[in-house]
Homo-oligomer: A and B are copies of this chain.
Amino acid sequence: MARSLGELAALFGCELIGDPSVTVHRVATLAQAGKGDISFSASNAYQEQLRSSTASAVIVRTVDAQMSPVAALIADDPYLVYARVAEVLHPEPEIRPGIHSTAVVSESASISPGAEIAANATVGDDSVIGDGVLVGPGVVIGSRCRVGDGTRLLANSVLVRNVTIGDRCIVHPNAVIGSDGFGNVQGPEGWVKLPQIGGAVVGNDVEVGANTTIDRGALDDTVIGNGVRIDNLVHIAHNVQIGDHTAIAGQVGIAGSTTIGKRCMLAGQAGIVGHIKICDDVIVAGKTVISKNITVPGSYAGSIPGEPDKEWKRKVARFRRLDSLVDRVTALEELAKNDGDK
């Protein structure tokens, strides 16, 4: 979707150096951008690329504006403006309101006339689908779900039941929201399933990654705040609560009844144990295990990067023999003390 630089400058409140009638239709990297493309530069590291750019326009900081060889939009945060320009130039595909002939919709469901229910999708009893919603091909929505306006449920994703999801969310393919929590009680003849009767409540502007699972609550609800971003293959167990604007990277696991604060960032493969609280503004490094409450904002880590096999094995052997090393140091201390006593 082409836009003129004048339009973009007005949309995002940028000063424009250059011809406002020039149009761009695509975002691209500084290195690859050509005619019709717009790119950005947000740090000194890219000044050389900026100087030789062949883009139709660039988004730059004030300090870099003079070195641009092409039209420049000036922004305090060029990366952020770039993201917004990208949204304008590359909007999500338009939905096609209506219910596809192969979709199966319960008579008690309520579907906005502005929603698209795509091929082979199903919508269960008493569910409510808002305006501008995409229920993608093969999506299954169970009973008593509510999907807010403008939300997109992509191919083969599932809302199991009792799921409420807000406005403008994206649920990526094969994600599952509202699956049973893992609740089992030991009985004399094996596990007895604890029925999971809570729901899952997802706020507005949330993204749920492909093949991610969010269980519904055991008694109360699992709650995902507004603006939360969840990557692929993430596991969020029953009764977890995630604060607004928290971002969770691929393959993170969060065990049951844990509360995560606002604006946290959990890097890939991190594991958060159950029944703990993590305060706002916490960053957890990749593959880190968090096993206790965190009450102080900041960065937390707990993984050791790999090394060549041999060196690593020697370190592990040393680690395994730490006990004997401590004993040796204690013996030396005893000796030194005895020497001193002489």
* B-side contacts of A289, CB under 8 Å: 286-287, 303-306
Stretch among A16-24, A85-93, A108-116 lining the B interface? A85-93
A residues sitting closer than 8 Å to B (CB atoms) are 26-29, 32, 77, 79-80, 82-84, 86-87, 89-91, 93, 100, 102, 104, 118-120, 122, 136-138, 140, 142-143, 154-156, 158, 160-161, 170, 172-174, 176, 179-180, 182, 184-187, 189-195, 197, 205, 207, 209-213, 215, 219-220, 226-227, 229, 231-233, 235, 237, 244-245, 247, 249-251, 253, 255, 268-269, 271, 273, 283-292, 296, 298-309, 312-316, 318-320, 322-323, 325-326, 328-329, 332-333, 335-336, 339
Beyond A138-B156, A172-B180, A339-B339, 16 additional pairs, beta carbon < 8 A:
A80-B186, A86-B195, A120-B138, A122-B155, A142-B155, A174-B176, A176-B232, A184-B247, A189-B227, A283-B309, A292-B305, A298-B308, A299-B309, A319-B322, A325-B325, A332-B332
Contact A182:B229 (CB < 8 A) given known A87-B193, A155-B158, A250-B253: yes
* B-side contacts of A328, CB under 8 Å: 329, 333
- Cross-chain contact of A185 among B80, B182, B250, B325 (Cβ < 8 A): B80
A140 lies within 8 A of B138 (CB): yes
Of A87, A143, A155, A318, the most chain B CB neighbours within 10 A belong to A155
B301 lies within 8 A of A306 (CB): yes
Complex A-B: 23 CB contacts under 8 Å: A32-B219, A80-B185, A80-B187, A83-B187, A137-B140, A155-B158, A172-B179, A176-B211, A182-B209, A182-B249, A191-B227, A210-B213, A235-B251, A251-B251, A269-B269, A290-B305, A298-B309, A302-B304, A302-B306, A304-B316, A319-B319, A328-B329, A335-B336
